[in-house]
Structure 1
Amino acid sequence: MTDRAARRPAVRDDLADLSPYGAPQLDVPVRLNTNETPWAPPPAFTAALADRISAGLDLHRYPDRDAVALRTALAEREGLAPDRVWAANGSNEVHVQLFGAYAGAGRTLLLFRPGYSAHPLLARVTGTTVVTEDLDEDFRLTPEAARAAVEAHRPAIVCVASPNNPTGIPVDPDAVRALHDGFDGLVVLDEAYVELAPDPGEGRALLDELDRLVVVRTFSKAWRMAGLRLGYLLAHDWVVQDLLKVRLPYHLDAITQAAGCIAVELAEDVTAHIADLVTERERLLAALRATDGVTVWPSAGNFLLLRVDRAREVFEAMLASGVLVRDFSTLPRLEGCLRVTVGTPEENDRFLSALKESLR
C-alpha cells in the first residue's frame, strides 16, 4: 500500500496548496450562508418543466451543442442577436471558459479585494496568474483606482462583480469605463445579483458602449434555479466565437436548457418574489443597524455583510442554535465579518434572535 501511494502522480505544482471551493453544506434549520433564494420556483415553472420532459426531450440523444433555443430566448429578452449570448453550467463555468480563452499560462487576471472568492480559484485552475488590488475603505472602486490598477498590471483580463460579493456594493459604471479604457484586454462584469439592484440595466447599457466588455449572469439567484446550474453571458459576437474553442462537447444538458427557456417564458412569475426579497433585505438592514455591536453595510444583493467582535464565537453560537451564516472573519479586508443571506421572514427573525443572543 505504501509503495502504491509513493507512485501516486503529483498534482500540478501551482495547484498543490489550493483548497477546494465550497461553503459548508450543513443540515440546519436555517441555512443562510450561500445566497440561495429562500423560495422555490413557482408551481407553474416546475409543472411546465415536467411537461416538457415527458412530452419528448430526447434524453438518449446529446443536447443541442450550441443551446440555440435558450440563447435565442435570452437574446430576445436583452435586445441582442443570439450570437452575442452564451450559456453554460452556472456563471462559474462561464468564467472558466473566459479564463481559458483569454487568460491561462503566461497571462494575468486582475481582481479587486474583497471580492467573490471563487474567481481566483477558477483562474488558477486555468493556469492564470492572479493579481489583486484593494477596494477603498468603503469597499468601492473609484474610476481613478480602476485606471491605476490596469495601468500598473496590464492584465489580459480584469473581473469585477456588481453588486460585489460579499460586500453587496454595486460598481460605479464610470469605474467600469475606466477599466475598459485603461488597457487593451477583456473586462468581465459579474452580475450574479443584478436583478436585485436598483438599476439592473446598467451593465447591459455599458455593453452597447464598450467593445471589450462581457456581462456574466446567473439563474441561481433571482431566477431561483441554483439547483439546475445555469449561467450565461452577454458580449460581442467574437467572444462567443472564441468560447467555442474551449467549451466542453455538449456541455449544457437538455433539461437545463429546457428549464432556462421555460424560465424566460415565465419570467414574470419566476421573478415575482424579488420585491418581497428586497423588502426583507431592507428590514434586515434596519434591524442590524439598530443592534448594538454590529456594523453593517447596505447591499444591492440578497445578502448583507456585517462586522462584529468575536466573530468566530458569534458564528459558532448561532450555528449551535440552528442558524448557519458565512464566516469571512479571517480573510484580508474582512476581519470580523460575517455574511448573511436574506431568507424568508421567519428565517430572518430566527437569525436576528440568534445573533442578539450570541452577542450577549
Structure 2
Amino acid sequence: MTSLDELPIRDDLRGKSPYGAPQQTVPVALNVNENTHPIPEDVAHDIIARVAAAILHLNRYPDREFTELRRSLAEYLGHGLEAAQIWAANGSNEVLQHILQAYGGPGRVALGFSPTYSMYGLLASGTGTGWIMAARDDEFEVSTETAVRAVQEHDPDVVLLCAPNNPTGTPLALDTIRAVADAARGVVVVDEAYFEFAEPGTPSALTLLEGRPRLLVSRTMSKAFAFAGARVGYLAGDPAAIDALRLVRLPYHLSALTQAAALGALAHSSEMLAMVDEIRGQRERISAELSRLGFHPYRSGSNFVLFGGVDEPHAVFEALLERGILIREIGIPGHLRVTAGTEAETSAFLEAIALFAPERPNRIAV
C-alpha cells in the first residue's frame, strides 16, 4: 500500500497531521464541546417538515445566495444587521477557510495567540498562508498591550481572535478587540463560536462592525444551538468584505437541506437557546468543584473548562475513559479540558475526577 510520503502532495503539507479528536461511543462524551442536550422534539418535527419539503426540489440547485437564511441570521444577530452583511457556510471552519482563501494565501501571514483553536493553523496551511502564534499572558489571558504589540511586530494580513478562546475558554475584552481592529492593517476575524455561553450582558464584537470594513465576526450554530451535526457557520461584516468571499466559495456550497434545517432551527431560536443557562450553570459548577478538589480551572466564557494541576494528563484521560467518560487532552502539560454537559453528565465527571484530585489523601495513583 502506498504511504502518504510517497504521494506528490505539496511540500508545505508534508509532515502535518489532520485535525483529530477521539471519536468513541461512551456513556458520557465531554470532549469536543458539543451541546449535549438534545434538540426539543417540537423543534425537531418542524425541522423535519422543512427538510422534507426541500427534498421535493432536490432536482434543482439550491439558492446560491441562501437569501432567506441570511435574512434569518441577520434577524437573530440583531445590532441592525442586514442580509447583505451576512455570510454562511458548512460550519464555521469553512467560513474561516473562505476568509483565508480570500485574504490569506502564499506570501501572506495570519496571526493568532497560542494556545488557540488548532484548526486555525491547519486552515492556514491548507490555504498556503503563513501562521504565526504570539504568546498569551498569564492565565492564558490576552491584554490589550500584548495583542497590539503582536500586531505591530508581525504586521499580519489576517488576525484570528478567538473570543472566548478555545481550548482555554478565556474571554477577550471588547477594548482589546477594538484596539486590534484599529491597529491592524489586514483583516481581523473575531471567532465568537462560544459567545452565547458568555456571561449575560457581555458585549459582542458585532457592536464594533460599523465603520470597520476589515472586521469580521464569526459564529456557529454547532454549540449553543445544539446543531453540530448540521454543519452551519456564519459571519457578519461589511458587504464589500463579504463579496470577496464569493470569489473563493464553491458554487451552491450550502445545500438546500442545510438551508432548510438551519431556517427551522432559527425559527425556534428562543427554545433552542433555552438550555444555555443550564449549561452555563454546569460550567460554573465544574469550575467550583475542580477548584475545591485542588485543580486549577481557568476563567471560562464558553461551554467548557480547562483545568491544570493534573500530574499525568494522559493517564487520567485513560482512567476516565475506562469509566465511560471521555474528555480532552489538548497538549498543554498538566492540563485537561472538559465540556459542560447535562447535570447527570457533569455529576459523573466530577465523581470520577475526584479520584485523582491533588488534595485527596487517598487519591488513585496513575
TM-score by shorter chain over 0.5 = yes
Q: Which residue of 2 aligns with 1:13?
A: 11
Cα distance in structure 2, aligned partners of 1:320 and 1:62: 47
Q: Does the CA-based 8 Å contact 1:160-1:190 persist in structure 2?
A: yes
Mapping of residues 271-350 of structure 1, within 5 Å: 271-292=273-294, 294-307=295-308, 308-328=310-330, 331=331, 334-350=332-348
Distance 1:252 1:200, change over 3 A: farther
Once the two structures are superposed, what CA deviation does each residue of 1:220-257 show, in whole Å capped at 9, x if it has no partner?
00011000000000000011110000001111111111
Once the two structures are superposed, what CA deviation does each residue of 1:110-159 show, in whole Å capped at 9, x if it has no partner?
01011111111111100000011011012111111111111111110100
Q: Which residue of 2 aligns with 1:67?
A: 66
Q: Which residue of 2 aligns with 1:186?
A: 187
Cα distance in structure 1, aligned partners of 2:177 and 2:191: 11
Cα distance in structure 1, aligned partners of 2:48 and 2:58: 13
> What amino acid does structure 2 have at the position aligned with 1:219?
M
Q: Which residue of 2 aligns with 1:35?
A: 33
> What amino acid does structure 2 have at the position aligned with 1:74?
L
Aligned-pair CA distance for 1:98: 0.1
Cα distance in structure 1, aligned partners of 2:3 and 2:21: 30
Aligned-pair CA distance for 1:54: 2.8
Q: Does the CA-based 8 Å contact 1:21-1:118 persist in structure 2?
A: yes
> What amino acid does structure 2 have at the position aligned with 1:202?
S
> What amino acid does structure 1 have at the position aligned with 2:334?
G
Q: Which runs of 5+ in 2 are unaligned?
A: 358-362
Q: Which residue of 2 aligns with 1:155?
A: 156
Mapping of residues 184-263 of structure 1, within 5 Å: 184-198=185-199, 199-263=201-265
Aligned-pair CA distance for 1:358: 3.6
> What amino acid does structure 1 have at the position aligned with 2:167?
P
> What amino acid does structure 2 have at the position aligned with 1:113?
S
Aligned-pair CA distance for 1:283: 1.2
Secondary structure in 2 matching 1:132: strand
Q: CA RMSD in A?
A: 1.7
TM-score (norm 1): 0.94
Cα distance in structure 1, aligned partners of 2:336 and 2:6: 39
Q: Does 1:107 align with 2:108?
A: yes
TM-score (norm 2): 0.93
Aligned-pair CA distance for 1:353: 1.4
Q: Does 1:25 align with 2:23?
A: yes
Q: Which residue of 2 aligns with 1:82?
A: 83
Distance 1:56 1:16, change over 3 A: closer
Q: Does the CA-based 8 Å contact 1:106-1:129 persist in structure 2?
A: yes
Q: Which runs of 5+ in 1 are unaligned?
A: none
Once the two structures are superposed, what CA deviation does each residue of 1:148-195 show, in whole Å capped at 9, x if it has no partner?
111111110100111111111111112112212222100000000000
Cα distance in structure 2, aligned partners of 1:239 and 1:24: 36
Number of corresponding residues: 353
Q: Does the CA-based 8 Å contact 2:162-2:192 persist in structure 1?
A: yes
Once the two structures are superposed, what CA deviation does each residue of 1:58-92 show, in whole Å capped at 9, x if it has no partner?
12222111111100111223221211100000000
Secondary structure in 2 matching 1:133: strand
Cα distance in structure 2, aligned partners of 1:228 and 1:6: 30
Distance 1:323 1:56, change over 3 A: closer
Q: Which residue of 2 aligns with 1:127?
A: 128
